[in-house]
Chains A and B, each alone.
Chain A
Amino acid sequence: MNRFDYIRPDTIADAVAALAAFPGAKALAGGTNLVDLMKYDVATPARVVDINRLPLKAVEDTADGGLRVGALVTNSDLAWHPQIAKRYPLLASAILAGASGQLRNAATTGGNLLQRTRCYYFYDTSTPCNKRVPGSGCSAIGGVNRIHAILGASDSCIAVHPSDMCVALAALDAEVEVEGPQGRRIIPFAQFHRLPDHNPELDNTLEPGDLVTAIILPATDFGRHHTYLKIRDRLSYAFALVSVAAAIAIEDGIIGDIRVALGGVAHKPWRDRNAEQRLRGEPPSEATFLRFAEDVLRESEGCGQNDFKIELARRTIVRALMQATRGTPQDQSDKVVR
């Protein structure tokens, strides 16, 4: 691990100032990703700003019926929070599908948004990687790429975003509250993470000195018609090959509001709002959902070893939408996919 300047501010303003003073400064919350990356010398921050003393641990109601979740709320506390279990079971389910009990006890809401890809080459400092060293090349293209992107990739990077929680947040149309040198602003979830294009070193649209302070959940209630279906190489404690967060409002047997976000397939949680729009007004059925899946995946492209993910994604979308329609969300302990 590199040597660094360690600062432990008590206020958000001091934390933002400490982050903004040096471009290489990193905020430390639970440490489950940053400390790991520092051990591999993938992250070598000159300054670590320990934000654990900031007042960002509350879950509170918003004026318009939603919920504001402080950035330091741990993944465990969020998943088991009575209001989350009751009003946002899709989010609770996605969180519990990720990582392990120990990691969820340390990992935070803000940190989950900012975790970095688990592309093997990003972690291996002996190989080229445009995300780690801009301009050095992409080793995954033409390399070992079984876990890589099938949507939205570029010739600079085919890495995927590893989060489960973020897939649910994308489906729920959450917002990210950010405090920066110019003050507070709100970023819609769809505009928070970005596609790699030619600068994959940027995972998101934060500016230097920005600190994620909260996630804001809208009031939307999908009742029982939701699911988080995660397909992975082993039953637990593995990143998604493909995951689907689905939520449907069904009115008089017809699809109303529908949200489908995919994990494990792109540089960000993937949603296709046009395809969702085209599904409105149709009756929910396997045939309808298969047509939707093909619509969402129309521009999908494998890079060799991950070609199987296209068919896997097609089937996972259909299965998830059938689960959501029936009102039988995937159980994250009993792993049988029904």
Chain B
Amino acid sequence: MPQPSPTTMVPIVLTINGVRHELSLAPWVTLLDLLRERLGLTGTKKGCDQGQCGACTVLIDGRRVNACLVLAVARDGADITTVEGLATGDELHPLQAAFIEHDAFQCGYCTPGQICSGVGLMQEGHAHTREEIREQMSGNICRCGAYTNIADAIEDVIARQSASREAAE
């Protein structure tokens, strides 16, 4: 049986860190390679490239996902936030500030993925205890073993957010 001929280019639109991008892409390009190789957004890291380490975690429509396992064309129309898009001007995202405060990294390679994953976890709203934070962060591997301080940073921001919510009520 004859096989179909490969698709060459697919036109898509992605909003990345608030900027609209009209792109023409081969369908086998992953979101991770698009971000790093074509758009120069190298904050998102390539670790294992197979969904095991979490270094490539980004937020797609507000939800944390491994960018290495996403074909970019399959997310046509999506709103993507990478670590470069978390701060507001010079003001760090509260979780970025907490990572510095709690010394939540050593080499820093897993950090962008850890922070994006932590932001996604907080938006999901299912982690209320330290055990739940650790369990729900298990998709991010840190070879330096900074887990204790990473969990501290996330726990701290969640506690501050719920305290300010209570104060507002």
Contact of A103 among B3, B132, B134, B139 (CB under 8 A): B139
How many residues of chain B have a CB within 8 Å of chain A?
A: 40
Contact B131 A102 (CB under 8 A): no
Known: A6-B27, A101-B137, A106-B65. A47 touches B70 (CB 8 A): no
Contact of A35 among B71, B136, B139 (CB under 8 A): B71
Interface: B74 (CB within 8 A): yes
Interface: B30 (CB within 8 A): yes
Contact of A31 among B6, B71, B121, B138 (CB under 8 A): B71
Known: A105-B64, A236-B138. A36 touches B50 (CB 8 A): yes
Q: How far is the CA of A30 from the CA of B67 in the complex (A)?
A: 11
Chain A 19-56 interface mask (CB, 8 Å, partner B; 1/0): 00111100010111001101110000011101010000
Smallest CB gap from B10: residue in A:
A6
Contact B51 A103 (CB under 8 A): yes
Q: A-contacting residues of B (Cβ < 8 Å)?
A: 1, 3-7, 10, 27-28, 30, 49-51, 54, 57, 63-66, 69-71, 73-74, 76, 117, 120-121, 124, 126, 129, 131-132, 134-140
Contact A5 B5 (CB under 8 A): yes
Q: B-contacting residues of A (Cβ < 8 Å)?
A: 1-6, 8, 21-24, 28, 30-32, 35-36, 38-40, 46-48, 50, 52, 76, 80, 99-103, 105-106, 235-237, 332-335
Contact B65 A102 (CB under 8 A): yes
Contact B3 A22 (CB under 8 A): yes
Smallest CB gap from A331: residue in B:
B131
Contact A24 B74 (CB under 8 A): no
Smallest CB gap from B9: residue in A:
A6
26 residue pairs bridging A and B, Cβ less than 8 Å apart: A2-B28, A4-B7, A5-B4, A5-B6, A6-B10, A6-B27, A6-B73, A22-B1, A22-B4, A24-B3, A31-B71, A32-B51, A35-B69, A35-B71, A36-B51, A47-B3, A48-B71, A50-B73, A76-B63, A100-B54, A100-B139, A102-B51, A102-B64, A106-B66, A235-B138, A333-B132
Task: Known A-B contacts: A22-B3, A52-B74, A105-B65. Give 18 more (CB < 8 A).
Answer: A6-B10, A8-B73, A21-B4, A23-B1, A32-B51, A32-B69, A35-B71, A36-B51, A36-B69, A46-B3, A46-B4, A80-B126, A100-B54, A102-B120, A102-B139, A103-B66, A332-B135, A333-B132
- Which residues of B are found within 8 Å of A332, using beta-carbon distances? 135
Contact B121 A101 (CB under 8 A): yes
Instruction: Please list the 4 inter-chain residue pairs (A to B) with the smallest Cβ-Cβ separation, ordered nearest first.
Output: A100-B139, A236-B138, A6-B27, A5-B4
Contact A31 B70 (CB under 8 A): yes
Q: How far is the CA of A36 from the CA of B27 in the complex (A)?
A: 15
Contact of A102 among B57, B74, B126, B129 (CB under 8 A): B57
Contact A4 B27 (CB under 8 A): yes
Task: Count chain B CB atoms within 10 A of each CB in A30, A100, A334 and give the residue with the most.
Answer: A100
The smallest beta-carbon distance between A16 and chain B, in angstroms, is: 16
Known: A32-B51, A101-B120. A333 touches B57 (CB 8 A): no
Contact B4 A102 (CB under 8 A): no
